Structure 1
Amino acid sequence: MTAANRPPQPARRPASRPPRCSELPELDLRVWHDSSSRPQFAEQLSDIAHRSGFCYLTGHGITQQRSTKLLGLARRFFALPEEQRLAVEHINSPHFRGYTPAGRELTSGRMDWREPFDIGRERPALPLRPGDPSWRRLTGPNQWPAELPELRPAMLELLEELQGIGSTLLSALAVGLDMHEDLFTEWFGHQAHTRLKLLHYPSRPLPDHEQGAGTHKDYGFLSMVIQDSQGGLQIADEQAGWIDVTPRSGRLVVNLGEMLALYRRRALAKDVGVSPDGTGPRPARPQTAGRAVIGGASGMRRRRLTHV
């Protein structure tokens, strides 16, 4: 990329040590939709980006009643007989969509004990010719269980809704970074590779195995998580250590990710994690049966999910 076509860089803030974080701040998206208070919302979101990288979000339009129904639908998928889940296994899809059995994923060399179901925007597969970039295979259709036909329309509707919420947040963040509001919208547009991930964290396989999802950073720009009541998500703070992200009714958990950090050339991404069944620290994103969580969009600071 030449200097002529390199994206404009936001103004740098003076380096400062983030303050100790003991709980997540909360933003109300309705503040952004009020033109008189847009600057206030943008400044708050920018401040979060330079500090914890996480927040609770209200005013997004997804009611708690609807979240409960969506989590229940996710639980119904993970409760299907194993052969029906394996019929839509991730390895059958050249577009990286579908179900992955527990124990197939590793983080930092250790087994994650979770079952993901990956969903993308429903599009025809792109033709692939020799020499084409490998990212073209990301576009394509999803896999859906025939035994649960209502899963497809509910999750595709949610995916598009989260895409809209994410685009709004990125517009606000651009303003907070002293850039023009449409900066990120112009980058992504309708071709954005938005992903939705349903996650089930079964009971731990061994008494001492507490890693639902090991310590990691999400790679994308932005993540949004719908938690169930059991929780399990934790984020790392340099001074406070691991902090529980307590589920709150009607709230999305928003996290800014590594790709955004690379653009910003600052550490805007926290560590995260999750735990499986209730006795230890925890893992992150959608959970069911043991619990169900729904995660949308992409990106996150360091986190983990341990069994609870």
Structure 2
Amino acid sequence: MATSFTKIPIIDLSQADDNSTRPEVLKSLRDALIEVGFLYVSNHGVSTTVVDNLVNALPTLFKLEDAVKSTVALENSPHFLGYSGVGSENTGGKVDRREQFEFATELGATWRPGVPLYERLRGPNQWPRKHPELRAVIEDYIKELTSLGERFLDLVAEALSLSVGTFQPFLSDQHRLKLVHYPASPVGDSTVSQQGVGPHKDSSGWWTFLLQASPPEVKGLQVLNKAGDWVNVPVVPGTFVVNIGQAFEVVTNGVCKATTHRVLSGPHERYSVPFFQGVRRDLTKAEAVETLKAHFDGLNISTESEEGHAIDSAFLKGKYNTWGESQLRTKVRSHRENGKKFYSEVYDQYINDDA
């Protein structure tokens, strides 16, 4: 594989079930993990019916009346689950042109005074009224992706010469799903930003499993290679785009890097569905850094572009000791209305803390 990749590799997971092809699949996966940080998975075993049901539901969901969307606004939720409109988030100091619904594994709220505040992130979804069919579609999809993620982690462990099950103890009891709509951008209008999402590394999960839910002619996703060039990630029907999150980079001692990526808006509206595999909220820095350090110490750490290197891990570089508190800080800073409403005791601290 080239030192600075120019395309994203495709891993056929069905070949891992055949002893004659499994070694080559593991080698290709290892190369993708260490050299790219992004890959497609094909023949992944996720029900096509479940995927199709979700894709078909997206236009209905985003065409809901504003009044209905407001009833499930993210600002209503201490768990940061619900709807947020275009322009409600920014990346790198610039506004992102997207609207989204955020869901998670359906769990009850268990936080109470005396329990770490970050445990309040765990909790139930907000479901749009008058459309009960959407809940079943979304819950079926979360169930399928949860299973795929666990199976994939065991293959990753084997590719990195670790025992099956090595990465499972790092997982949370709750995974998160975003349903994202990027409106079309006017062609040739320089006053309208083309930033769907600005350059970033995924900081909210262990691994991300992305369904590009628009036809192949609809482009937008790009990945930054080590030379600092943006590489297109076109839609490949029947696949998921899979990429490393920052927590996994920390646990692998920087050997498997979270790769910087962005989304550019274009002349067509675009739908995208990232599933973020959750990280255990009580994971400490020491546990994350030390658990597998001896295994990864002997492996070469690949370089990355200057722009990619500048995006540090808030968990590793910040002053907070647990993954949960690092995540809470990030969410409060991104969704300040929620922070003021539900986390007033730490709001000023997090907003003014740039470390």
d(CA) in 2 for partners of 1:79, 1:29:
35
Q: Does 1:225 align with 2:213?
A: no
- For the residues of structure 1 that align with 2:30 and 2:68, how far apart are their CA atoms? 44
* Structure 1: distance between partners of 2:48 and 2:111: 41
Query: Match of 2:181?
Result: 200
Deviations 1:148-193 (Å, cap 9, x if unpaired)?
A: 21111111111111111111111111111111111112332xx433
Give me the whole-angstrom Cα distance separating, in 1, the residues matched to 2:2 and 2:16: 25
Q: Alignment partner of 1:22: what SS?
A: coil
Q: 1:151 to 1:40 in 2, by over 3 A?
A: same
Q: CA distance change for structure 1 residues 192 and 40 in 2, over 3 Å: closer, same or farther?
A: farther
1:119 alignment partner, SS class: strand
Residue number in structure 1 paired with 2:32? 48
Query: Greater relative contact order: 1 or 2 (C-alpha under 8 angstroms, separation 6 or more)?
Result: 1
Partner of 1:276: 265
Question: In structure 2, which of residues 21, 31, 42 is the aligned counterpart of residue 58 of structure 1?
Answer: 42
Q: Which of 258, 262, 273 is equivalent to 1:294?
A: 273
Taking structure 1 as the reference length, the TM-score comes to: 0.82
SS at match of 2:132: coil
Q: Distance in 1 between matches of 2:51 and 2:265?
A: 21
**Over residues 16-50 of structure 1, what are the superposed CA-to-partner deviations in whole Å (9 max), with x where a residue is unaligned?**
x9612111111111122335544433332221111
Contact 1:62 1:250 in 2 (8 A): no
Q: 1:25 is matched by which residue type in structure 2?
A: P
Counterpart in 1 of 2:120? 137
Are the aligned partners of 2:210 and 2:275 in contact in 1 as well (CA < 8 Å)? yes
Provide the residue aligned with 1:127 in structure 2.
Answer: 111
Q: What amino acid is the match of 1:197?
A: K
Task: Please state how far the C-alpha of 1:265 moved relative to its aligned partner.
Answer: 1.6
Describe the SS at the equivalent of 1:126: coil
Partner Cα separation in structure 1 for residue 246 and residue 111 of structure 2: 30
Query: Are 1:242 and 2:225 counterparts?
Result: no
SS for the counterpart of 2:179 is strand
Higher helix share: 2
Aligned partner of 2:155 in structure 1 is 172
| Conserved? CA contact 1:22–1:240, under 8 Å | no
Farther off after superposition, 96-105 or 147-156: 147-156
5+ long unaligned stretches in structure 2:
279-303, 309-355
State the 1:63 CA deviation. 5.7
Share of identical aligned residues, percent? 31
Q: Considering only aligned residues, what root-mean-square deviation do their CA atoms show, in Å?
A: 2.3
**Structure-2 separation of matches of 1:152 and 1:224:** 20
- Distance of 1:31 and 1:97 partners within structure 2: 37
- Paired AA for residue 210 in structure 2: V
- SS of the residue corresponding to residue 255 of structure 1 reads strand
Query: How far apart, CA to CA, are the structure 2 residues paired with 1:139 and 1:34?
Result: 39
- Judged with a 3 Å threshold, the aligned counterparts in structure 2 of structure 1 residues 183 and 203 are, in CA distance, closer, same or farther, namely same
SS at match of 1:208: coil
- Give the SS at the match of 2:230: strand
TM-score (norm 2): 0.71
CA distance in 2, matches of 1:195, 1:35: 34
The answer (yes or no) to whether the contact 1:71–1:293 under 8 Å persists in 2 is no
CA distance in 2, matches of 1:204, 1:249: 24
**Equivalenced residues, count:** 272
1:65–1:124 Cα change, 3 Å: closer
**Is 1:89 aligned to residue 73 of structure 2?**
yes
Q: Secondary structure at the match of 1:73?
A: helix
- SS state at 1:183 partner: coil
Structure 1 position 67, deviation (Å): 3.3
Distance 1:157 1:61 in 2: 14
Larger strand fraction of residues: 1
- Secondary structure at the aligned position of 1:125 is classed as coil
What amino acid is aligned across from residue 136 of structure 2 in structure 1?
P
